Structure 1
Amino acid sequence: MKMRPAITVIGSGAVGSAWIDYFRKAGFPIASVWNSSSGVVYGSDSEHQDERNHSLPAGESDIGDLILITTPDSIIRSVAENLSTSDIDWSDKRVVHCSGSHPASVLLPLSQKGAATASMHPIQTFKKSDDSGRLKNIYISLQGDGSFVQQLKGIVEDLNSNPLILDEHQKKAVHISAVFASNYLVALLNTSDVILKENGVEEGVNILEPLIRQTLKNILERGTEFSLTGPISRGDTTTVQDHLENLAADEEKENLYKALGRVCLGIVKRQDSLTEEQLSELQRILE
């Protein structure tokens, strides 16, 4: 049976902790785990062996064969630069970061020293308490050195997840899309929550749960193009105008309503379901 590589994880936050849990359960030896102030180096039985008072591996005894960098995106480049100046021989090392925003080339200082490099980004949201279950049955984007990406593909498939092999441009597009679908969805529902509570509906966004769930179900079953309902899809200019009048005292919410309304209008135009007069009037109202 092929020997599993020893694992080093640099950055033990939410994503790093989930990966550590996966590698432990899958039987990979954990060589070391590092955070912002110190490292813990393990023996072959994964019991605590030694502590380091520095935040990054400095020598061969500090590091495994497969290294995951799961630090904040803003410091991945500096981590790679610092590691490249260490006494470690990188010629037989494989280094992967888990950022959605950065390509594998952010690890250039290490690839120049002979390491195979890639990115492996779980398209999922994480919190600190999550275990490896959060990595299962999702899409995980892979980008970087071809043979290394194929090795990572095996890890993704072992999780019963879907490997998504991308180039740099596609990877950036996926991350932007994920920000819209996750982070901005939170912002949008927060806006709904605030509007409700400002008007005395203390249950807030909870009253919208059945609507939210059904909308997502429709999207996943039929696609976004065929899931739009509401006043813009019907060409109901009176209701749209009334909504904007109610939001007029809050410029931020009014502008958000108009911006999203114009996106909805674009969908409606592609459906060719409204008259030119209706489309023109909606366009005017939403400017």
Structure 2
Amino acid sequence: MHTSASLAPGTTIAIVGAGRLGRVLVRALRAAEIEVLGPIGRDGRIPDADIVLLCVPDAVIAEAAAVARSHTRFLGHVSGATALTDVDFSLHPLQTFTGAEGPEAFRGIGAAIAGRTPEARQIGEQLAVALGARPFAVDDAQRASYHAAASYASNFILTVLDAAEGLASAAGIPHDEARALLAPLVRRTVENWATNGAAPVLTGPIARGDEATVARQRVAAEELDLSDLFDALAAATRAIAARPAATTLITKTEEASA
């Protein structure tokens, strides 16, 4: 995406919402030498500012926007799922936060932006650039797919990893040790996926067509009430394994090891 000029000198930004993202945004914007007011609790008085950025739960964006509208020229939110109905622009950092991160937390990450007008969209873009993030456009019509992608890449991965931790525990490995042992496998898998996509790097019994091993794994999953999750993941994994890229790589690997 084309990046516009920096925010005008002296621009003031009020951050409404003192949750995880709001606190990290304040630190990062101040490190970028931008004048920040807040973070302001949802019940606090909103000061006048050039930009007001709502870092509040999706369910209260409309209410918070109604209160903030008279205090700013540009009103935005940080939700990835909520439309621009009540604001001028949106800026959604494609990252997970604990609230303890430092100002560098946004450097190099993606940031989805949208605006009701070109000028409002430019504000979102300028904020992303000031944070060190990479802005990319996501319009309201695309939000459901975009936000679902983020949930799959973050929330659902945690669901799968929690199941893996439980299965390792059932094998006699303490939970803390299980996470430490599985983490390098997870990191390498993600690195391989980031470089090549899923199909070319898929390994394991489903990729090899070893259904006997898959059946034994399912029995272990069933003992922890994970059979439904296992079945859904196995079906999706079979679909990936059936892609030409996966078949080609497996054939080449087998030929190289023959």
What TM-score, normalized to structure 1?
0.77
Task: Say whether 1:97 aligns with 2:87.
Answer: no
Task: Say whether 1:28 aligns with 2:34.
Answer: yes
> Deviations 1:162-213 (Å, cap 9, x if unpaired)?
1111211223212111111111111111111111113311122221122112
**In the alignment, what sits opposite 1:155?**
127
Match of 1:10 among 16, 23, 28: 16
Check 1:15–1:208 CA distance in 2 against 1; reply closer, same or farther (3 A cut): same
If asked which structure has higher relative contact order (CA below 8 Å, sep 6+), I would say 2
Which letter does structure 2 place at the counterpart of 1:70? C
**In the alignment, what sits opposite 1:75?**
60
State the alpha-carbon separation in 1 of the partners of residues 206 and 235 from structure 2.
Answer: 9
> Deviations 1:8-61 (Å, cap 9, x if unpaired)?
111022111121112222222234541034xxxxxxxxxxxxxxxxx242xxxx
SS of the equivalent of 1:104 reads: coil
Check 1:63–1:233 CA distance in 2 against 1; reply closer, same or farther (3 A cut): same
State the alpha-carbon separation in 2 of the partners of residues 10 and 260 from structure 1.
Answer: 39
**In the alignment, what sits opposite 1:254?**
227
* Structure-to-structure mapping, 1:135-150, within 5 angstroms: 135-145=106-116, 146-150=118-122
SS of the equivalent of 2:145 reads: helix
Say if 2:77 and 2:90, in contact at 8 Å, map to a contact too: yes
Which letter does structure 1 place at the counterpart of 2:29? F
Match of 1:194 among 143, 157, 166: 166
State the alpha-carbon separation in 2 of the partners of residues 231 and 94 from structure 1.
Answer: 54
Say if 1:56 and 1:83, in contact at 8 Å, map to a contact too: no
Which letter does structure 2 place at the counterpart of 1:213? R
> Which ranges in structure 1 are unaligned for 5 or more consecutive residues?
38-54, 108-116, 275-287
Give the greater-gyration-radius structure (CA).
Answer: 1
Task: Number of aligned residue pairs: give it.
Answer: 238
Cα offset, 1:222, TM superposition: 0.9
Say if 2:115 and 2:122, in contact at 8 Å, map to a contact too: no
Say if 2:49 and 2:71, in contact at 8 Å, map to a contact too: no
Say if 2:138 and 2:146, in contact at 8 Å, map to a contact too: no
Check 1:28–1:249 CA distance in 2 against 1; reply closer, same or farther (3 A cut): closer
State the alpha-carbon separation in 2 of the partners of residues 174 and 263 from structure 1.
Answer: 20
Cα offset, 1:244, TM superposition: 1.7
State the alpha-carbon separation in 1 of the partners of residues 75 and 204 from structure 2.
Answer: 49
State the alpha-carbon separation in 2 of the partners of residues 23 and 249 from structure 1.
Answer: 49
**In the alignment, what sits opposite 1:129?**
100
Check 1:152–1:249 CA distance in 2 against 1; reply closer, same or farther (3 A cut): closer
Which letter does structure 1 place at the counterpart of 2:164? S
State the alpha-carbon separation in 2 of the partners of residues 211 and 223 from structure 1.
Answer: 16
> Which ranges in structure 2 are unaligned for 5 or more consecutive residues?
1-6, 249-258
Say if 1:67 and 1:94, in contact at 8 Å, map to a contact too: yes
